[in-house]
Amino acid sequence: MTQNRNEPFWDVIIIGAGIAGLTASIYLAQAGRTVLLLDKGSHLGGRAASTEIASASVNLGAHALYKSALPILQEAGVIPTGASPKAPVMFVFEGANGGNKALPLAQLLLGSFLTWHEKTQLFRFYSRLRKTDTSALHKVSLQAYLESQISSPRVRNVVLALVRVSTYCDAPDLVSAGAVIEQLNHSQVMYVDGGWKTIVSQLTEQAQKGGVSIRTSSPVREIAGSYPRMTVTLKDRTQLRTSYVLSTAGPADTLAILNPSLTPTEAAVYEQLIPVRAACLDLVVAGMPQPKTKFVLGADYPWYYSNHSTAASLSDNPKYAVVHVMKYLPASIHSDPLQDKSELEGFLDLIQPGWRKHVVQHRFLPRMLVSHAVVTAAAGGLLGRPGPAVEGRPGLYVAGDWVGSEGMLLNASLASAKEAARSIISGKEQDKEGMHRGA
């Protein structure tokens, strides 16, 4: 191993410079801790990175920022700009004779497609949503809950379409009803000007202002030891010394670099996590055949279409727009990427006939990782997720969209990053060591 005598002893080493890692580093630096932030890639941001495609800023699949995430971002010194999508929603249903039909929301609610009884069920479900006691529903699957509340399969599918767009998850038999309802009650979103790279850029600037040291192209080989003497070894065998380690890598990646490994009992809570994925077709287009069709969801299909340029500034070319098309992938079945792409193209043929002539450039991401974990009913919903402190390894913490009892997606990453940082700052391990309590 390479031990560089010039390497400082860090208070905290953070693995992964995505939004969770950057946010935690800012809180720690604000509290006066010396922080080294490592990332295996050459660029910061992880899945929140945006790429330049045809003079447009394009996120890795469709990203929407929940406004409930703004308080923590603002604490970190980040103020995203953008707007909420205001486009009318359309729903795609399976029609008779194998054809599909797209219906505007107004027609769905006022027309004859749904019966009066079905409309009543839909209105009743949403009118009661904010009054629902979720504490009794965390261990109940969404599918079981909806079947107990809504008798119409068509109405259930409309609700499931709105669940998918709120959670990015298509696993009603697994996901916690309590967690889903809480997510639906925080449904205000915004599309971010310049893409999510602007959030990453602001977080990076705040981290560097606070004195955080950032090293890219630094993949980690091993995490060893426990508080107050821990060692992080890089793939090039450089050894870094620290009191605490915070890993914002995924659960499998984190487990793989621990030495010694966790016990089977300790590791089980991480190994049982089920990732959430989506097939994403990202388009830069010069107009679209049906410009008023801005936001479409599949009711009988796990599909999503949105023109993000209707709410956010994503290109310097006023003629170009960024459109995201997605298929929410099932949690337990490995789908065929070629079939998924063909399905999304067929979806576009239905709602934007002639769309191919408008494409400037496109990118297909067949199995984009959306989240590291379905919030399952079997595990107890949000309360069943792993906490930031790793059991059996004092000084080791985790953060990410799979950690903690608060929120989903980015909200979970931010909340767990803040909680992990606060736990380190409070110095719980120092108390156990009989040392001076941290500030």
Q: pLDDT per residue over 13-66, tens digit each?
A: 999 999 999 999 999 999 999 999 999 999 999 999 999 999 999 999 999 999
Strands (E) across 227-265 are located at 229-234, 239-247, 258-259
Averaged pLDDT for residues 113-136:
94
Q: What is the pLDDT of residues 140-173, one digit of tens each?
A: 999 999 999 999 999 999 999 999 999 999 999 9
| pLDDT for residue 435 is more than 50 | no
Domains in the chain, CATH or no CATH each: 9-48+196-273+375-433 (3.50.50.60), 50-65+80-100+276-371 (3.30.9), 115-187 (1.10.405)
Pairing status of strand 213-215 against strand 220-226: unpaired
- Asked which of 2-11, 38-47, 239-248, 406-415 is least confident by mean pLDDT, the reply is 2-11
Nearest to 155 by CA among 51, 300, 331, 372: 300
* Percent of the chain at pLDDT exceeding 90: 91
Cβ-based neighbours of 103, under 8 Å, separated by 6 or more: 90, 91, 92, 93, 111, 113
| Alpha-carbon 340 to chain mean position | 21
Between 116-127 and 153-167, two packed helices, what is the crossing angle to 10 degrees? 40
Q: Which two tokens stand for residue 166?
A: 């709120």
Q: Can you give the length of the chain in residues?
A: 439
| CB distance 207 to 315 below 8 Å | no
Return the bridge partners of 245, or none.
13, 396
Structure tokens at 45: 């941001």
Handedness of CA 247, 251, 254, 260 (dihedral sign): positive
Q: Strand 396-398 vs strand 239-247: parallel, antiparallel, or unpaired?
A: parallel
Q: Strand ranges (DSSP E) for 78-234?
A: 82-83, 89-94, 100-104, 189-192, 213-215, 220-226, 229-234
CA dihedral 6, 10, 16, 20 (to 10 degrees): -150
